[in-house]
Structure 1
Amino acid sequence: MNDVVSILKTARGLVKDRKGVTALEYGLIAAFISVVLIAVVPGMAAGLRTTFTRITASLT
């Protein structure tokens, strides 16, 4: 009987404790942002290179 009560108390504590869930959510958000940056930055770099090449050409 004491084992059942102990298990129920532990289960209630885990349900109330949202720190682990919050950390997991932040980890997923960080991973999503990383994937987006990896996909977007190379395209932006090419565009910036073109822009600065045009500026350099117009200044010389």
Structure 2
Amino acid sequence: MSSSPTAPLSRQPLIGVFKGVPDPRDRRGVRHRLDTVLALAAVGVLAGCRTLLAIWGTPAT
């Protein structure tokens, strides 16, 4: 048995971990759930994106 504090987190889907993150945004103007935004950002980083614009899909100039 591992004594690592992250061991329980590694056994659940990443979206489940993101659902546990408190949302600090003001409720006004929020269009997307925070767990969805974090998951898309994580996928962008895994795909090699290095900036928010790259994650968004805007070509770098």
TM-score normalised by length of structure 2: 0.26
TM-score normalised by length of structure 1: 0.27
- The structure with the largest helix share of the pair is 1
Higher relative contact order, chain-length normalized (CA < 8 Å, sep 6+): 2
Greater C-alpha radius of gyration: 1
